[in-house]
Amino acid sequence: MIRTITAAALALLVLLALPAQATEAGWALLREGGHVVLLRHAYTLGTTDAEAFDIEDCATQRNLSDRGKLQARKLGALLAARAAPVEKVYTSRLCRAQSTAELAFQRIPIEAFPPLDPPPGDAEYGAESRRAVIDLVRGYRGSDNIVLVTDLVTIQALTGRTAREGEALIVRPGEDMLSVQARIIFN
């Protein structure tokens, strides 16, 4: 019985350590500079947007909660303290993505980049948007880092991976998708 408990405890410790290792690997890359960060917006209120969703109207969208606003400020401060500078921030037109960018990166140029918007039902348009984001990542040659702020659906379309609210994925271009090099979890 003691072996069973010990094995289970060891397995739990390993699972709990994995996010910390992933986070430290991400910080190591960002300290080098020259990387692209794909960031999921901070915590929101609710789980779905209104049926009458309009990308131009924040009242029809999930917006940041008070906890999300705090999380956005915290992740911006951590990136400023632990990583090479952020050169530029690109964001989807979702209000929650723009709010995350504005709170986290107050002194850094922020640009709305529609290809980071949630993919529509139109497969051809979705493929064009994915290609535009991959081309942006492929073309980045700076010595600082850039950040792309978007939502879960877009992250899944770009990487085939999932991300928590406020989680950062350090990515590089692949052939048809972005490849995740490391993650940073902001909690």
Per-residue pLDDT for 21 more than 70? no
pLDDT of residue 22: 59
pLDDT tens per residue across span 31-43 = 999 999 999 999 9
170 phi-psi bin (left φ>0, alpha ψ -120 to 50, beta other): beta
d(C-alpha 172, C-alpha 174), whole Å: 7
Question: Above 50 in pLDDT, residue 180?
Answer: yes
Most confident of 17-21, 86-90, 115-119: 86-90
pLDDT computed for residue 52 by the predictor: 82
Let me know the angle formed at the C-alpha of 97 by 94 and 98, rounded to the nearest 5 degrees: 85
Is the pLDDT score of 160 beyond 50?
yes
pLDDT digits (tens, 9 = 90+) for 118-145: 987 777 778 899 999 999 999 999 999 9
Question: Would you say 86 and 147 are in contact if contact means Cβ atoms under 8 Å apart?
Answer: yes
Condensed to tens digits (0 to 9), the pLDDT of residues 98-114 reads: 999 999 999 999 999 99
pTM of structure:
0.86
Domain ranges of the chain: 2-184
Q: What is the mean pLDDT of residues 166-181?
A: 94
Note the CATH number of domain 2-184.
3.40.50.1240
Please count the helices (runs of H) and the strands (runs of E) in the chain. Answer: 5, 6
